[in-house]
């Protein structure tokens, strides 16, 4: 018989093995992509919010932390949904609606494995959030802070060619959108605008949608 951990508010139970499986799976993927980034001579790519969010979510699952799971879920929901829409549309139609994942056309199997967290991180975290009775209240602020820290680090660590977290210029596909004029801003204003847009146009809406789907719960775990 499996050992079960009961999470307040005592309306749902989640098997402990599921926490461990998801946590180890996500952390293992982060280790794999980190090794691959170093092998390719691109260690700065570890700082993508998609990768760090996967690591935080994995640690949250292993430690059964509602706070870490919530931050990771809100951090990844918008980015990964955008990525999957672009990718799946390409699968079925042969064209990219946003043009942000065109790099996948020339990707090798190991490259696909490196990007695989875009497929599983958000669903895994959503399952855990549901079983935990909802995400932490106002956690979008934590996701925004995480992105702000990663954006500043990426600006000083990543070269323009890597453009980690789009801190040097808009990602291809977005540079022809209504956001195109952002590229004309000085670096400090550009990064500030990038953080603000992700906060108000990504993390806050993602938080609201997730709350509508699985609810919120406010405690210290």
Residue 132 — φ and ψ, nearest 5°?
Answer: -80, 0
Residue with tokens 């060619």: 161
Rounded CA-CA distance 72/177 in Å is 27
Q: What is the DSSP letter of 221?
A: -
Rounded CA-CA distance 14/35 in Å is 32
- In terms of DSSP H, where are the helices of 64-116? 66-93, 109-114
Q: How far is CA 102 from CA 79, 105, 141, in A?
A: 15, 6, 31
Predicted pLDDT at 220: 56
pLDDT in tens, the chain (221 residues): 444 443 444 446 788 999 999 999 999 999 999 999 999 999 999 999 999 999 999 999 999 999 999 999 999 999 999 999 999 999 999 888 887 888 888 888 999 999 999 999 999 999 999 999 899 999 999 999 999 999 999 999 999 999 999 999 887 777 767 778 888 889 999 999 999 999 999 999 999 999 999 998 766 55
Predicted pLDDT at 1: 46
Partners of residue 216 on adjacent β-strands: 135
Residues 149, 63, 8, 206: is their CA dihedral positive or negative?
Answer: positive
pTM of the predicted model over 0.85? yes
Instruction: Tell me, rounded to whole angstroms, the distance of Cα 25 from its chain centroid.
Output: 15
In the chain the beta strands, taken as DSSP E runs, fall at 4-7, 12-15
Rounded CA-CA distance 32/29 in Å is 5
Peptide bond into 69 cis (omega under 30): no
Predicted pLDDT at 218: 64
Beta carbons within 10 angstroms of residue 92's beta carbon:
7
Contact 203, 211 (CB under 8 A): no
């Amino acid at each position: 018989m499996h050992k079960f951990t009961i999470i307040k508010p005592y309306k749902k139970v989640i098997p402990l093995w599921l926490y461990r499986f998801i946590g180890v799976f996500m952390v293992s993927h982060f280790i794999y992509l980190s090794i691959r980034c170093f092998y390719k001579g691109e260690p700065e790519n570890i700082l993508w919010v998609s990768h760090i969010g996967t690591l935080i979510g994995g640690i949250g699952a292993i430690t059964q932390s509602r706070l870490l799971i919530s931050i990771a879920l809100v951090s990844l929901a918008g980015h990964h949904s955008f990525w999957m829409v672009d990718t799946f549309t390409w699968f079925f139609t042969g064209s990219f609606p946003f043009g942000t994942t065109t790099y996948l056309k020339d990707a090798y199997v190991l490259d696909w494995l490196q990007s695989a967290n875009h497929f599983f991180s958000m669903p895994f975290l959503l399952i855990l959030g549901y079983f935990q009775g909802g995400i932490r209240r106002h956690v979008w602020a934590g996701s925004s802070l995480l992105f702000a820290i990663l954006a500043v680090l990426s600006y000083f660590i990543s070269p323009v060619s890597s453009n980690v977290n789009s801190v040097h210029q808009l990602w291809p596909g977005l540079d022809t959108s209504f956001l195109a004029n952002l590229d004309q801003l000085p670096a400090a204003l550009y990064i500030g605008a990038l953080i603000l847009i992700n906060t108000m146009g990504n993390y806050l809406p993602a938080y609201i949608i997730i709350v509508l789907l699985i609810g919120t719960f406010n405690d210290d775990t």
